[in-house]
Amino acid sequence: MRHPSIQVHPDTESLARVAAEQFVALAQEAITRRGRFSVALAGGSTPRRTYERLSDEPFASQVDWTRVHVFWGDERCVPPDHPESNYRMARETLLDRLTIPASNLHRIPCEQAPEQAAAAYEATLRAFFAEGKTPSEGAPIPRFDLILLGMGEDGHTASLFPGTAALHEEERWVVATYVEKLGAWRVTLTPVVLNAAAYVTFLVAGKHKAQRLREVLMGPYQPDRLPAQIVRPHRGHLTWLLSVEAARLVQV
Tens of pLDDT, residue by residue over 153-177, are 999 999 999 999 999 999 999 999 9
Q: Considering only 177-181, 190-194, 230-234, which range has the smallest mean pLDDT? A: 177-181
What local confidence, expressed as pLDDT, does residue 134 receive?
A: 59
Predicted confidence band at 132 (pLDDT cuts at 50, 70, 90)? low
Confidence of residue 76 (pLDDT cuts 50, 70, 90): very high
pLDDT of residue 44: 87
Of residues 122 and 136, which shows the higher confidence score? 122
Separation CA 17–CA 19 (nearest Å): 5
Q: Inform me whether the pLDDT recorded for 73 exceeds 80.
A: yes
- The pairing of strands 74-76 and 68-72 is unpaired
Residue 135 has pLDDT above 80, yes or no: no
Say what the pLDDT of residue 181 is: 87
Q: Are 172 and 125 in contact (CB under 8 A)?
A: no
Q: Is the pLDDT of residue 182 over 90?
A: no
Arithmetic mean of pLDDT over the chain: 95
- Please tell me the predicted confidence (pLDDT) of residue 137: 66
Which of 129-133, 140-144, 169-173 holds the top average pLDDT? 169-173
Q: Identify the helix (H) or strand (E) that includes residue 27.
A: helix 12-34
198 pLDDT higher than 70? yes
pLDDT score for 139:
75
Across 50-54, 100-104, 133-137, 142-146, least confident range: 133-137
pLDDT at 2: 67
User: Is residue 107's pLDDT more than 90?
Assistant: yes
Give 155's contacts (C-beta < 8 A, 6+ positions apart).
162, 212, 215, 216, 225, 226, 227, 228, 229
pLDDT at residue 65, as a whole number: 98
Q: How confident is the model at residue 66 (pLDDT cuts 50, 70, 90)?
A: very high
What are the structural domains of the chain? Answer: 5-243 (3.40.50.1360)
DSSP 152-221: -TTS-BTTB-TT-GGGG-SS-SEEEEEETTTTEEEEEE-HHHHTT-SEEEEEE--GGGHHHHHHHHHS--
Q: What integer is the mean pLDDT of 80-100?
A: 96
Q: Which residues are paired to 74 by β-bridges?
A: 188
Over residues 68-88, the mean pLDDT reads 96
Res 204: pLDDT: 97
